[in-house]
């Protein structure tokens, strides 16, 4: 299979591209800086501007699938009005570029996988959230809804479209986990805010495997939650993390302090969703790491 990945230089894109190459697929990763892109062996970097099909349109004629992961990192800085606009526009522009490339193609890929996030459901309580749960109304939910809609038109072109609503992807070096680990290194781990908010986590291995599973399964379509079957509250997550690191879990970080430090971005740690992968399990996917402690042991001790 020949696959185009937008956002191919990010955490998920690099790992996914590497895995696809290992399985015998040909992978092109779209990047703004193809000359300096640090990609695993076998992935071909291709330049793009993030907004148009210019430069990579010919690849669409050859591709069997497009995986659209492009979007500015939510946790890279405080959410000023300018930054919030960049977060949204980076996703909308990439989606529109993908649709334009597909519309112009005489030979189209058969599958489009569109990235999204469990933030689609908005801040939650203890309610289990499946793919049929309604969208939230907060900023992150609005971004996720718009992100998903950005490529919806591809379905009118005859493509199979899969939407992956991803939780917190756990990796030793990138993403949320290194930030969660840091206080424990200084013996200062503890609840964030109330600690009752749910963390819909997923091991990077399962994130990659699940996307490949959906890519290669012709019956897969529509939205899928990519999160482990057992979401945990932040307090329970922290206790497991402390046990794996052999560090105490005792010092709370009050919500007001996190608001002061992070501003509106504090929603990333103070709010959560009890999202479960109902449709993914129904389709027959088997998680490599369904439980947190083995997942953390694998990530932090290898």
Query: Could you read off the pLDDT of 25-41 as tens digits, one per residue?
Result: 999 999 999 988 889 99
Looking at residue 185, what is its pLDDT? 92
Looking at residue 8, what is its pLDDT? 94
Q: Give residue 301's pLDDT band: very low, low, confident or very high (50, 70, 90).
A: confident
Residue 187 DSSP SS3? coil
For domain 2-169+202-227+274-287, give its CATH number from 3.50.50.60, 3.40.190.10, 3.40.50.720, 3.40.50.300.
3.40.50.720
- Beta-carbon contacts of 171 under 8 Å, excluding residues fewer than 6 positions away, are 11, 177, 204, 299
Looking at residue 260, what is its pLDDT? 82
Percent of the chain with pLDDT over 70: 100
Cβ contact 119:265 at 8 Å: no
Where along the chain do its domains lie? 2-169+202-227+274-287
The average pLDDT across 84-95 equals 96
Range of lowest pLDDT (73-77, 91-95, 127-131, 244-248) = 73-77
> Looking at residue 152, what DSSP letter applies?
G
Global pTM reads 0.96
In 55-204, the DSSP E strands lie at 65-68, 111-117, 160-166, 168-170, 198-199, 201-203
pLDDT tens digit sequence for 199-210: 999 999 999 999
pLDDT tens digit sequence for 1-20: 999 999 999 999 999 999 99
> Looking at residue 201, what DSSP letter applies?
E
Percent of the chain with pLDDT over 90: 87
Looking at residue 282, what is its pLDDT? 98
The span from the CA of 32 to the CA of 52, in Å, is 12
């Amino acid at each position: 299979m020949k696959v185009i990945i937008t956002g191919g230089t990010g955490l998920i894109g690099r790992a996914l591209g590497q895995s696809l190459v290992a399985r015998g697929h040909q992978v092109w990763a779209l990047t703004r800086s193809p000359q300096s892109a640090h990609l695993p062996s076998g992935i071909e970097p291709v330049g793009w501007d993030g907004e148009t099909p210019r430069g990579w349109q010919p690849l669409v004629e050859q591709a069997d699938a497009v995986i659209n992961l492009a979007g500015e990192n939510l946790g890279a800085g405080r959410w000023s009005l300018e930054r919030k606009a960049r977060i949204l526009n980076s996703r909308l522009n990439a989606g529109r570029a993908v649709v334009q490339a597909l519309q112009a193609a005489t030979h189209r890929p058969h599958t489009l996988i569109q990235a999204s996030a469990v933030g689609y459901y908005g801040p939650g309580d203890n309610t289990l959230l499946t793919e049929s749960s309604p969208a939230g109304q907060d900023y992150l939910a609005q971004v996720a809804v718009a992100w998903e809609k950005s490529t919806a038109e591809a379905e009118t072109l005859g493509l199979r479209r899969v939407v992956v609503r991803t939780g917190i992807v756990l990796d030793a070096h990138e993403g949320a986990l290194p930030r969660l680990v840091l206080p424990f290194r200084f013996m200062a781990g503890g609840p964030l805010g109330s600690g009752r908010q749910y963390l819909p986590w997923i091991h990077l291995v399962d994130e990659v495997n699940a996307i490949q599973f959906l890519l290669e399964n012709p019956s897969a379509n529509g939205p899928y939650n990519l999160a482990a079957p057992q979401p945990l509250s932040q307090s329970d997550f922290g206790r497991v993390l402390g046990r794996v690191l052999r560090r105490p879990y005792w010092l709370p970080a009050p919500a007001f302090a996190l608001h002061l430090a992070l501003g509106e971005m504090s929603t990333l740690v103070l709010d959560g969703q009890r999202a479960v992968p109902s449709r993914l399990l129904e389709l027959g996917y088997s998680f490599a790491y369904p439980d947190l402690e083995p997942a953390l042991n694998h990530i932090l001790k290898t």
